[in-house]
Amino acid sequence: MGPQAQLLHGGTRLHLQHGPIDLIIGADGDRPAAFAAAQARFATVLDELVQELPALRQPLSTDTRAPAGAIARKMQRAAHPYAAEGFVTPMAAVAGAVADTVLHAICAATPLTRAYVNNGGDIALHLTTGQHFTSAMSGHNGADLGRIAIPHDSPVRGIATSGRHGRSLSLGIADSVTVLARTAAEADVAATMIANAVDLPGHPAITRTPACSLDDNSDLGDMPVVTHCGTLPATDRRLALEQGRKRADDLIQKGRILGAALFLQGDNRNCGTPLANLSIRTAEHA
């Protein structure tokens, strides 16, 4: 089945779906023109990615050749800074790169005061003077984790969330990690890296399985991904979150991200500068 489109909420939002890609789009301005541009750009997104999928699933090195497609190039640019630091593939940025690409298409088609493209929780933003964007952070069980409020004068234009309860496999035990960055692709890969860092290697409460045994097509190959994490004592939760916080702080210092919120079994950490209002609820476990 090809790309599907449906207007939502009285025509104020557009839902686009094709295979595993599922977008919700909002636009303030000439909405029909914006939505038409979104549909036109979305029509070939999946085919573009499939053409280069084998290469995009390969680990990046500092001298990996640039891919051909525009979305694939966004993915590689976002992931490239991590290539010298350890394992990463361009697929770590795929959801964010798709959101960035569709957002660029609708903003190029018509003047908009505000727009967003939400690709399964990875969000690309367009804000003009006087506009703002707010979003709730929710746990895998629907719990309210906090709020994100981004004013127009913040450099944040991308939001992404990763963790072991998300759509992708994770090497870490974080319930979720939400990252603010300048693009959705940059936020996407960073959220993956920080979520992987929230970990307790060798802990008896954590079960791991080779990624390829769960998904033949996983870019993680035989790397051990987390399939279960039992209830952890407070000291262990905080130790794991501290590993993630160190990674997030390092990425902030390097200018790759602007903020992050990390969550694990009721405990949390908030990292970043006051470039956006990222507020989290008080931890359930003090």
Q: What local confidence, expressed as pLDDT, does residue 9 receive?
A: 87
Express each pLDDT in 199-226 by its tens digit.
Answer: 999 999 999 999 999 988 889 888 899 9
Give per-residue pLDDT as tens, 2-57.
999 999 988 999 999 999 999 999 999 999 999 999 999 999 999 999 999 999 99
pLDDT at 62: 86
- Classify residue 172: in a domain, yes or no: yes
Judge whether 139 and 263 are in contact, CB under 8 Å.
yes
Average pLDDT, integer, range 113-119: 98
User: What pLDDT does residue 273 have?
Assistant: 61
| CA atoms of 253 and 249, how far apart (whole Å) | 6
User: What does R_g of the chain's alpha carbons equal in angstroms?
Assistant: 18
Is the pLDDT assigned to residue 144 strictly greater than 90?
no
Please indicate, yes or no, if residue 274 is contained in any of the structural domains: yes
Query: Which of 55, 274, 277 shows the shortest CA–CA distance to 150?
Result: 277
Q: What percent of the chain has pLDDT over 70?
A: 95
Evaluate whether residue 286 is within a structural domain: no
Q: What is the pLDDT of residue 282?
A: 41
Instruction: Note whether 20 and 119 are within 8 A (CB).
Output: no
* Per-residue pLDDT at 280: 62
**In what side-by-side order are the strands of the sheet with 277-280?**
132-138, 144-151, 277-280
Q: Please check whether residue 167 lies inside any domain of the structure.
A: yes
Confidence of residue 180 (pLDDT cuts 50, 70, 90): very high
Distances from the Cα of 253 to the Cα of 10, 111, 258, 272, 277, angstroms: 43, 34, 9, 9, 19
d(CA 150, CA 273): 13
Average per-residue pLDDT in the chain? 93
Residue 215 φ/ψ, nearest 5 degrees:
-150, 110
Whether residue 79 contacts residue 89, with contact meaning beta carbons closer than 8 Å, is answered with: yes
Q: Give the span between the Cα atoms of 73 and 162, in whole angstroms.
A: 21
Q: How far apart are CA 163 and CA 81, in angstroms?
A: 21
How far apart CA 284 and CA 235 sit, in angstroms, is 14
Flag whether pLDDT at 100 surpasses 50.
yes
- CATH at 68: 3.10.520.10
pLDDT in tens, 184-201: 999 999 999 999 999 999
**Does the residue 285 lie in any domain?**
no
Q: Is the pLDDT of residue 284 over 80?
A: no
Range of the domain at 235: 4-280
> What Cα–Cα distance (Å) separates residue 32 from each residue in 10, 44, 223?
13, 20, 45
Mean pLDDT of 230-236: 97
Residue, of 283 and 119, whose pLDDT is higher: 119
Question: How many structural domains is the chain composed of?
Answer: 1
Residue 269 has a pLDDT of: 93
Question: CA-based angle 46:80:85, to the nearest 5?
Answer: 130
Residue range 170-196: mean pLDDT, rounded: 97
In a domain, 224, yes or no: yes
Distance CA(274)–CA(83), nearest Å, equals 29
pLDDT for 165 equals: 87
- Please give the structure tokens belonging to residue 77: 């640019």
Comparing CA positions, the residue from 112, 106, 115 lying closest to residue 42 is 106
Given this model, what pLDDT does residue 274 score? 57
Cα–Cα nearest to 160, from 93, 250, 78, 207: 93
Give pLDDT tens digits for 240-283: 999 999 999 999 999 999 999 999 999 999 998 655 556 665 43
CB atoms within 10 A of CB 112: 21
